[in-house]
């Protein structure tokens, strides 16, 4: 008697149930392909220079735009989301001039490590379940660092839609989802669309301090505070510095004003909940960090990857925007910093502070 043929829908349901048991807040399935319009938007982003110094966007554009170019055997993408919504006002610290504002996602453990660990557990489950169904499943896991267009894939998998701020918006979690993917050789049924949309709302576009959106759904990273404070190694353009305020690592303004956030619950993942010392760290303390002090304070944090010099450059700009004469000594000693980018930012800050 012939064996029962594998039921892809049942297999997908078991995978989803296990993913949620692992702690993922959103799960969906999509074919491992992207449409031509998505690839065209990626190409335009690069060709218009909007990627700034992120040369890797152009170098691996073919793989980014087509999952099968990255891994020819892939058939389906399991898209996962992890809620990191804060319990209160995400922008509260931006109104505290003598403190530095750190993006919500970076106030505790590095989410790359958290999500990847969960993805590996799920990937092993996918392999085992495939075997139980008589299928040999291969898997690969990705979170942010690989050439994967996470947001379009998540949209195709029914996790939400790409908002006008270019990030994913979820009906249940607003703009507060970390994304990760399991690529697999299994053929799994596509999830239903999430529904929802932005309508005529432009709150995210209007909220951007540096006008980084030349059009809805289009970002010029060269003007984005997240890019300027994290990816950019050079001096921050002077014209953009005043608008940065006290944002020293990343920026949440466009995410935080999204109306869909009213449905989001504060994250229950302890590794993603803010550390007390990173909610509103004193700028004077951060300006005093040497390399060893920086590495100790940000051990296990995504902030550690940008290094002391880039971080202290950001702190100097925030001090220059603070209007606090009391912070002058904290930045004055940086005017002769061995790193010329730090020294220049400190000199700029000193000239802006009241005597």
| Burial per residue of 35-62, b for 16 or more beta-carbon CB atoms within 10 angstroms, e otherwise | eeebbebbeebbeeebbbebeebeeebe
Long-range contacts of 33-41 (CB under 8 A, 24+ apart): 33/66, 33/67, 33/68, 34/65, 34/66, 34/67, 34/149, 34/152, 34/153, 34/156, 38/65, 38/149, 38/152, 39/65, 39/66, 41/217, 41/218
In order of 27, 58, 84, 87, 131, the CA distances from 273 in angstroms are: 21, 34, 8, 9, 37
* Beta-sheet pairing, 161-162 with 168-169: antiparallel
The reply to whether 66 belongs to the active site is no
Given the residues 144, 206, 253, 277, select the one marked as catalytic.
144
DSSP 8-state class, residue 229: I
Give the residue numbers marked as catalytic.
144
């Amino acid at each position: 008697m012939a064996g029962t043929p594998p039921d892809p829908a049942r297999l997908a349901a078991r995978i989803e149930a296990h993913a949620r048991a692992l702690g993922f807040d959103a799960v969906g399935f999509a074919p491992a392909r992207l449409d031509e319009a998505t690839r065209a938007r990626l190409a335009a982003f690069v060709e218009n220079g909007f990627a700034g110094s992120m040369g890797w966007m152009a170098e691996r554009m073919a793989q980014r735009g087509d999952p099968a170019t990255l891994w020819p055997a892939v058939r389906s993408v399991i898209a996962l989301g992890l809620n990191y919504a804060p319990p209160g006002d995400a922008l509260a610290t931006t109104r505290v001039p003598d403190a530095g504002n750190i993006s919500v996602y970076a106030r505790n453990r590095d989410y790359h490590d958290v999500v990847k660990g969960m993805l590996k557990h799920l990937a092993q489950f996918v392999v085992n379940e495939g075997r139980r169904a008589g299928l040999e499943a291969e898997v690969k896991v990705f979170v942010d660092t690989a050439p994967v267009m996470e947001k379009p894939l998540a949209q195709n998998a029914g996790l939400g839609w790409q908002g006008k701020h270019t990030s994913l918006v979820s009906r249940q979690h607003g703009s507060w989802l970390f994304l990760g993917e399991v690529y697999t050789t299994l053929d799994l049924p596509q999830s239903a669309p999430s529904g929802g949309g932005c309508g005529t709302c432009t709150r995210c576009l209007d909220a951007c301090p540096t006008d980084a959106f030349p059009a809805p759904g289009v970002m010029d990273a060269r003007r984005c505070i997240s890019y300027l404070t994290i990816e950019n190694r050079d001096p921050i353009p002077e014209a953009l510095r005043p608008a940065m305020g006290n944002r020293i690592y990343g920026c949440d303004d466009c995410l935080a004003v999204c109306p869909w956030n009213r449905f989001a619950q504060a994250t229950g993942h302890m590794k993603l909940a803010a550390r007390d010392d990173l909610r509103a760290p004193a700028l004077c303390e951060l300006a005093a960090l040497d390399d060893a002090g920086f590495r100790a304070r940000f051990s296990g944090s995504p902030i550690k990857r940008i290094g002391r010099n880039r971080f202290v450059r950001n702190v100097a700009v925030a001090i220059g925007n603070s209007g606090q004469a009391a912070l002058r000594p904290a930045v004055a000693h940086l005017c002769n910093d061995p790193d010329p980018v730090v020294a220049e930012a400190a000199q700029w800050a000193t000239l802006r502070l009241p005597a």
